[in-house]
């Protein structure tokens, strides 16, 4: 590594700290910050109190095309595009600014991780740069959504206008439905028992 000024090193540390606090994984840090892996690991541990999670980054575009992630990813990429086109934001700074605005729009519940992590958001921008994903306007609401470049996207309808029937069915909802089904089955059984008891009585 070439000799760097103290100021530029301080700037890199500042950037790394901001990224780590926003939830960046090590692979993102290594790509975007001009500090050694050792320095990044040390910084991560100091800020988070634990070592960064191991393992490669999610590499597939599929996740961004599933129903709920698609809505979050679309919101993020619209903000990102606006900042790049109109506010002169570039590179990792544009990703960070857009991500902070995304979190303001979609604040996660306390103690819950945001649906779209910073690392995913950063990966999404890279998928756009490599032309694997793109934006297409919804035929109904005209909103722009993340789509696969290889799909046929004419007359595209977004996940909000054309909601899949199972969308948003969380475990809680499923449990409630299962409980209702069980209750109804029990009531039907009781009614049938009462009915046959009455019949038996009449025939006696
Ligand atoms: Zn729509």
Query: Scanning the structure block, which residue is given the tokens 């649906």?
Result: 115
Task: Report which of residues 50 and 203 the model is more confident about.
Answer: 50
CA of residue 96 to ligand 1 center, whole Å:
27
CA of residue 142 to ligand 1 center, whole Å:
6
CA of residue 145 to ligand 1 center, whole Å:
8
Residue 26 near residue 41, CB atoms below 8 Å: yes
Rounded to 10 degrees, the C-alpha dihedral 59/108/96/85 comes to 90
Task: Give the pLDDT of residue 67.
Answer: 94
Please tell me the distance from the alpha carbon of residue 41 to that of residue 45, in angstroms, as a whole number: 6
Task: Give the pLDDT of residue 193.
Answer: 59
Q: What is the mean pLDDT of the chain?
A: 86
H or E stretch covering 146: strand 144-148
Mean pLDDT of 155-163: 92
The pLDDT tens digits for 3-61 are 679 999 999 999 999 999 999 999 999 999 999 999 999 999 999 999 988 877 767 89
Q: Is the pLDDT of residue 172 over 80?
A: no
CA of residue 77 to ligand 1 center, whole Å:
16
Of 80-84, 155-159, 164-168, minimum mean pLDDT range: 164-168
Residue stretches of the annotated binding site for Zn(2+): 138, 141, 158, 161
Mean pLDDT of 185-195: 58
CA of residue 58 to ligand 1 center, whole Å:
27
CA of residue 124 to ligand 1 center, whole Å:
20
Q: Is the pLDDT of residue 194 over 70?
A: no
The pLDDT tens digits for 65-102 are 999 999 999 999 999 999 999 999 999 999 999 999 99
Task: Give the pLDDT of residue 150.
Answer: 87
Q: Among candidates 151, 126, 117, which has minimal Cα distance to 136? A: 151
């Amino acid at each position: 590594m070439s000799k760097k000024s103290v100021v530029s090193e301080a700037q890199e540390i500042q950037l790394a700290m901001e990224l780590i606090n926003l939830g960046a994984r090590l692979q993102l840090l290594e790509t975007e910050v001009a500090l050694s892996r050792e320095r990044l690991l040390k910084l991560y541990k100091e800020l988070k109190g634990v070592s960064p999670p191991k393992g490669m980054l999610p590499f597939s575009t599929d996740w961004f095309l599933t129903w709920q992630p698609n809505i979050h990813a679309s919101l993020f990429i619209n903000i990102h595009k606006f900042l790049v086109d109109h506010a002169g934001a570039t590179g990792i700074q544009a990703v960070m600014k857009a991500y902070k605005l995304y979190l303001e729009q979609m604040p996660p519940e306390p103690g819950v991780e945001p649906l779209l992590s910073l690392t995913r958001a950063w990966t999404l921008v890279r998928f756009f740069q490599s032309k694997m994903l793109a934006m297409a306007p919804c035929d109904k609401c005209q909103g722009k959504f993340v789509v696969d470049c290889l799909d046929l996207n004419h007359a595209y309808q977004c996940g909000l206008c054309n909601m899949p029937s199972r969308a948003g069915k969380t475990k809680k909802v499923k449990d409630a439905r299962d409980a209702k089904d069980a209750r109804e089955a029990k009531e039907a059984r009781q009614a049938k028992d009462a009915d046959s008891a009455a019949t038996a009585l009449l025939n006696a």
